[in-house]
Structure 1
Amino acid sequence: MDYSNYPRNDVLCIDMRSFYASVEAVKLGEDPMKVMLAVVGDPSRSGSIVLAATPELKRRYGISNVSRYFELPDDPNIIIVPAHMADYLKVSVEITNLLNNYAPPDAIHVYSVDELWVTVNGLEKLFGNRRQIAQKIKDDILNTFGLTCSIGIGDNKFLAKVVMDLHAKKKGVAECKYEDVEELLWPAQIGDIWGIGHRMKKNLNRMGIVNLGQLANFSLDVLKRRFGVMGEQLYWHAHGIDLSPVFGDFTKHEQKGFGHGIALLRNYSAEEIDYCILDLCEEVCRRARTAGKIGKTVQLGIGYSKETGGGFSRSRSFDIPSNITMDIHDMAMKLFNEFYDGRGPTNKTRKTYAKKNSS
């Protein structure tokens, strides 16, 4: 494969290790890498899911994110804590803010609450080469928050993400250039590759494709006929090619509104929902301010617990558009207080801030 015509960027994919459990460990003054701690959705129910476990608990007892509370061993050294989603969102935002010390906002792409990409092109004179930058960020996050992360480095977002999944979680920092794809990525089972789900894995296995190298050397025409555009993307990803943007608007289209949502990990009371709504408003308004936009309409959606059922979705507009967090929060809380009927706790909060005006 001739890579001379493909762009080369300095992209880092940062993944916080056992994020929820690590945040809880730090709150308790414990070392997240040594303590045995489990975050349980609802400790009052024996069948509740273990949402996160520290590395030591995983290593010693094989606990995973699909384990149940009753499956935890009877060990007095294991700390059990309920989930505090508002805390995790707050720390996630603070980590993103820390990365603004290294790169501008349009170089940071938040993928999830515990994972993001950051493009560090042209920062050599300030911080060193991309591996040195990755180590500085890793040390900075540890010193600032007490949290450990894994960092993958690649010429594009796909390479950074996959080398992080396959190698950085063991080494701390791992790098993959175009020329390293055959050695570092091709031996991997396709089920371990980002973007290949269980159903696609089964389809590829039926075609005799077990690892990424076999996918890379398969017929592109056959993959396109079988899977359409997805087949073509799989083929190029197997060769390490990814042309998705590394700066700016990652959605590739003009955004009509800014929204953010969360599925809560336990049933929240009406009083607790205020904190969740505030976090959602801060994220939405941050994105709006970054894009230089203001909005006129706030939409709030609330889903009640499974036991209660139901929920509501309502919207209301300002007279004067805004992108100020507390303006949006106040409107969202007015909607909540007006339409929440008090029937039961909530387990899902979704807030959408629809843009009607540009700054």
Structure 2
Amino acid sequence: MKDSGRTILLADMNAFYASVEQAFNPSLRNQPVIICGDPQQRRGIVLAASYEAKNLGVKTGMTVSKAKELCPEARCLPPRMNTYVQVSIRIIEILKQFSPLVEPFSIDEAFVELTGCESLLGSEKRAAQRIQRQIHMETGIHSSIGVGPNKLLAKMAAGMKKPQGITILSHEDVPEKLWPLPVGKLFGIGNRMEHHLYRMGIRTIGDLARTDPRLLRHRFGVIGQVLYESAHGTDSSPVDPYSLDGNKSIGHQFTLPRDYTEIKDIRLVLRELTEEVASRARKAGYIGRTVSLTIKGADFHSIHRSLTIPHASNLGHPLFQATMELLHRHWTGQAIRLIGVTLSNLQPDQGVQLNLFKDLNREHRLADTMDKIREKFGPESICLAESLLESSLYSDRAGKIGGHHR
């Protein structure tokens, strides 16, 4: 785009999980399809829905029972995460045919830097049409595409025409097309920030753009300046093909099969969670100092708290101790339906720091041995003895991707 000298495209796959199923199974095409968890295991939540189902009111996050009321003829299918990951990888490969600078943003979205490719690809619209057509021809997946002078405007544009739309936004379009939108629609603003802005009387993106940036900086620090610039359509972040190469955090969370209220049951789940997070950190070659605990109650009220431990670690026991401390500090006894643990403040694992009072070498050798056994014989080949108890989720989780079957 001429106003910044850059041309950025965001390709957003429409109803991705459901679209993959329709592409792989012709009998599902033009039919309402719902990808969902197992209702019997309390994971009966809509993960994705085809546009045929969405047009009847089905939404992501809705319970399967509610979705079936709205769309009784829908085909409900379990997620196949490994298949979706493989299709996502193929789409990234397709995008790299058009530019070497492709940044995966999520499993169904990616930014493409087209700056300098105009002579090869033609106009922004023509380039978007070629990419959209190539993705569909090779995978059967439809996409919506946004084009802008930066990642922010490309992302905003991609959401304006769904499904199968192409939208081009320039800086000159911002006052007319973005400012009337609710402030929560601005890329980068989550529910919590939207709530803070509402309390300041900021309802629309235009309200945010007209707010004194000094007030925003005073209230939110450097984030306030970013908010102000975003409201004006300004974003200088590069398209980074290596953005996913370095982990910023490693975590895991899942919905429980029933409401957990007993401390002994919650303790077991946290023990298993921290062991899983620690194992993933070891596999990635990281240790971390900050442990975060996420709890969502049966009333959907969430608690998220963090604790920095004295020494960075990727062993289950110190992470478990930190999560239990957080639980005792902040849990008020309400029934828990979702629980998660995250390790952040990561740094490369460069060996064991000696400790006069604990044999960390022994703990590391034990952890490494368990990792090797699971790698060779499968995730269920060895586990904690208490994972054989009824409240354990270990055997149900083993071998899944993102909590879902491969």
TM surpasses 0.5: yes
CA contact (8 A) 1:157 1:244 kept: yes
Aligned counterpart in structure 1 of residue 47 of structure 2, from 40, 45, 51: 51
> Within 5 A, what are the aligned runs for 1:126-205?
126-165=120-159, 167-169=160-162, 172-205=165-198
Give the distance between the partners of 1:50 and 1:150, measured in 2 at CA.
21
Aligned-partner residue type, residue 242 of structure 1: D
Distance 1:7 1:171, change over 3 A: same
Question: Does residue 78 of structure 1 match 2:71?
Answer: no
Give the distance between the partners of 2:203 and 2:146, measured in 1 at CA.
24
CA contact (8 A) 2:6 2:115 kept: yes
Aligned-partner residue type, residue 27 of structure 1: F
Question: Does residue 346 of structure 1 match 2:342?
Answer: no
Deviations along 1:327-354, one digit per CA (max 9) or x if unpaired, are xx9997238556546842216669xxxx
Distance 1:265 1:129, change over 3 A: farther
Question: Does residue 95 of structure 1 match 2:95?
Answer: no
CA contact (8 A) 1:19 1:114 kept: yes
1:272 paired residue number? none
Aligned counterpart in structure 1 of residue 376 of structure 2, from 310, 314, 334: 334
Question: Does residue 239 of structure 1 match 2:239?
Answer: no
CA contact (8 A) 2:205 2:231 kept: yes
| SS of alignment partner, residue 152 of structure 1 | strand
Give the distance between the partners of 2:53 and 2:65, measured in 1 at CA.
15
Distance 1:70 1:172, change over 3 A: same
> Within 5 A, what are the aligned runs for 1:94-113?
94-104=90-100, 107-113=101-107
Distance 1:45 1:258, change over 3 A: closer
**Deviation of 1:24 (Å):** 1.3
Aligned counterpart in structure 2 of residue 216 of structure 1, from 203, 206, 209: 209
**Deviation of 1:139 (Å):** 0.9
| SS of alignment partner, residue 198 of structure 2 | helix
1:288 paired residue number? none
Aligned-residue Cα RMSD (Å) equals: 3.7
| SS of alignment partner, residue 211 of structure 2 | coil
Distance 1:224 1:261, change over 3 A: closer
TM (norm. structure 2) is: 0.63
**Deviation of 1:248 (Å):** 5.2
Q: Which protein shows a greater Rg?
A: 2
Distance 1:349 1:84, change over 3 A: closer
Give the distance between the partners of 1:245 and 1:120, measured in 2 at CA.
12
CA contact (8 A) 1:52 1:65 kept: yes
CA contact (8 A) 1:110 1:117 kept: yes
2:64 paired residue number? 69
Distance 1:127 1:250, change over 3 A: same
CA contact (8 A) 1:9 1:155 kept: yes
Give the distance between the partners of 2:25 and 2:168, measured in 1 at CA.
34
2:7 paired residue number? 10
Between the two proteins, the alignment pairs up a number of residues equal to 292
| SS of alignment partner, residue 230 of structure 2 | helix
**Deviation of 1:77 (Å):** 3.1
Distance 1:126 1:200, change over 3 A: same
2:261 paired residue number? none
Structure 2: runs of 5 or more not aligned: 258-279, 285-313, 317-335, 344-348, 352-370, 389-394
Give the distance between the partners of 2:61 and 2:131, measured in 1 at CA.
30
Give the distance between the partners of 2:87 and 2:253, measured in 1 at CA.
17
**Deviation of 1:97 (Å):** 0.9
Distance 1:346 1:188, change over 3 A: same
Question: Does residue 21 of structure 1 match 2:18?
Answer: yes
Give the distance between the partners of 2:48 and 2:226, measured in 1 at CA.
32
Give the distance between the partners of 1:256 and 1:99, measured in 2 at CA.
22
Give the distance between the partners of 2:315 and 2:69, measured in 1 at CA.
41
**Deviation of 1:13 (Å):** 0.9
**Deviation of 1:185 (Å):** 0.9
> Within 5 A, what are the aligned runs for 1:292-311?
none
**Deviation of 1:125 (Å):** 2.4
Aligned-partner residue type, residue 59 of structure 1: N
Distance 1:51 1:23, change over 3 A: same
Q: Calculate percent identity across the aligned residue pairs.
A: 33
2:218 paired residue number? 225
Give the distance between the partners of 2:80 and 2:44, measured in 1 at CA.
15
**Deviation of 1:146 (Å):** 1.2
Give the distance between the partners of 2:174 and 2:84, measured in 1 at CA.
34
Give the distance between the partners of 2:46 and 2:191, measured in 1 at CA.
22
Distance 1:211 1:83, change over 3 A: same
